[in-house]
Chain A
Amino acid sequence: MNIEDYIESGQLELYALQQLSPAEAAEVERLAAQYPAIRAELTQVQQRLGLYAEAHAVTPPASMRERVLGGWQQAIRQQPVAVAPAPIAPVTPEPTPRPAQASEAVVRPLPAAEPEAGSGFRWLAIAASVALLLSLGANWLLYSRWQSSENQLVLAQAEQARFAATTQAVQKRLATRTEELGILRSEQFRTVVMTGTPQAPGARAKVMYNPATRAVYVDVNNLPAAPTGKQYQLWALDKGKPVDAGMLAQNTAAGDSLQRMKDIVSAQAFAVTLEDAGGHPTPTLAALTVMGQMTN
């Protein structure tokens, strides 16, 4: 710190004129205690100001001496020191807030000055409390908004995951359908329409058979629901001899989609029988449900 500059700043003069806030005044007192040069300058400033005050000196009328000393004596007797700060208060006529008042160097805070200092502090405390409340309010608002954003984010993420899963399922189904469509449109596939036997007159299903690749697909239009423990089985008839072409899955039997069956080397007709779950080596002719001949 440059002591010279500080002295030149005029701060000590303002201090002596009681123009500083309590904090600024405390700073001046601290520096005066620390630096003898500042202490000396402050003393001079106070003396010069005292001199200026003295220049205004007016000798009071002689009669005033008795009155003032008598009045003073009466006042201090009426207001014993025991009740220290209280007696001072009535003497001070309605203290007005003056920033410099509480901040004097030489005059330390007087009891009567306390309401002012206290009021200053009280206002500061009120201001601080208000600021704190506003800050708490703002924090609460931000926190609740943050919380709500967090919730919305979680929801959005769940939504996105659900959507991704749906898309995946859709794509899988689309791939299946595309494949099925490819089979249906392929000229290599021969369609065999199987119609219901007297046991199941309304039953109807189709077989798509590619003799070149030996691929066999089954497409159910309508089959009676299989009783518990029973399952439909597809047979290829090659020169009158039944060959197992595989079991129909439950959703295939319900007509949901095409199902690829076992490869078949050669066939002229296809039939479906209702067998025990897991299938049977030979078809139970009594349980023949649908049957169809391949047309050339």
Chain B
Amino acid sequence: MLPEPPPIAEEQLVARLRAQDEAAMTEFYDKYSAALYGVILRIVRKEEEAEDVLQEGMVKIWHSFQSYDPSKGRLFTWVLNVCRNLAIDKIRSRQYRVSSHSQPLDESPAERQPAATTFRPEHIGLQEITRQLNPEQKQIVDLLYFEGYTQSEVAEELNLPLGTVKTRARAAIKVLSKLIR
């Protein structure tokens, strides 16, 4: 089982954001900006672009906070999806993918920077994950998660049956749980 992060702080933050407490957004930034910025940067691959998307994401989170349902998942999962969708929309709208989707993950900005330790003591570095996931699994998760590919696009790109994409994605995500002790 995954160790649950301290829930009190998150609950308080959710309550304050729901009450439209602007000061809570500063705390939100301090808590989540590194994780969100890293994912956005991994998707859009340009620091200026990533900064814009993060700001847009925060505006969107602020305005649509009433639609966040804690019973369906953690705040981090929700805000991550909001930012991820914005970033993917950005690369899709500007057709980033044509020029840059083949860039290998090893050149990801995260590789060149020390891992952030902002909100998870058990945070795992990218290097360690890369060692655990086999290349096939990693490729599938990356295409689906960071490149904005649909499962059928992945199947086409890798010349795999749809069912294999599905099972491989499951296997890959399963491996990630082994990294947490």
Contact = CB atoms under 8 A, between A and B. Distances in A.
Interface of A: 8-14, 16-19, 29, 43-60, 64-65, 67-69, 71-73, 75-76, 79, 81, 84, 87-88, 91-96, 98-101, 104-113
Nearest to B53: A93
Given A56-B108, A108-B69, 14 more contacts: A43-B73, A46-B74, A52-B145, A55-B123, A57-B110, A64-B37, A69-B25, A76-B22, A76-B59, A88-B63, A92-B60, A106-B73, A109-B67, A110-B82
B71 to A, nearest CB: 9
Given A65-B33, A72-B62, A11 B25 contact: no
Interface residues of B, number: 77
Q: Quick one: which of A44, A47, A55, A94 has the most chain B CB within 10 A? A: A55
Contacts of A44: 1-2, 177
Nearest to B130: A55
B126 A56 contact: yes
A105 B74 CA distance: 11
A98 B68 CA distance: 21
Interface string B86-113: 1011101110000000000000111001
B120 interface: yes
6 contacts: A14-B169, A51-B124, A57-B35, A58-B110, A91-B60, A98-B88
B143 to A, nearest CB: 10
B173 A75 contact: no
Interface string B132-165: 0000000001001100101100000000000000
A88 B56 CA distance: 9
B12 interface: no
Interface pairs A-B: 10 shortest CB-CB: A106-B73, A10-B170, A10-B166, A57-B116, A58-B38, A48-B176, A107-B81, A57-B38, A96-B92, A56-B38
B46 to A, nearest CB: 13
Given A13-B169, A55-B129, A60-B33, A96 B55 contact: no
B124 A72 contact: no
Contacts of A95: 89, 93
Nearest to A67: B51
Contacts of A59: 33-34, 37, 113-114, 116, 118
Nearest to A20: B151
Nearest to B119: A54
B176 A52 contact: yes
B15 interface: no
Contacts of A67: 51, 55
A296 B77 CA distance: 132
A88 B64 contact: yes
Contact of A10 (B81, B128, B150, B169): B169
B41 interface: yes
A13 B173 contact: yes
A81 B63 contact: yes
A295 B20 CA distance: 138
Given A19-B144, A50-B77, A56-B38, A14 B166 contact: yes
Contacts of B148: 98
A53 B176 contact: no
Nearest to A42: B73
A68 B34 CA distance: 13
A52 B141 CA distance: 9
B166 A9 contact: yes
Contacts of A87: 59, 63
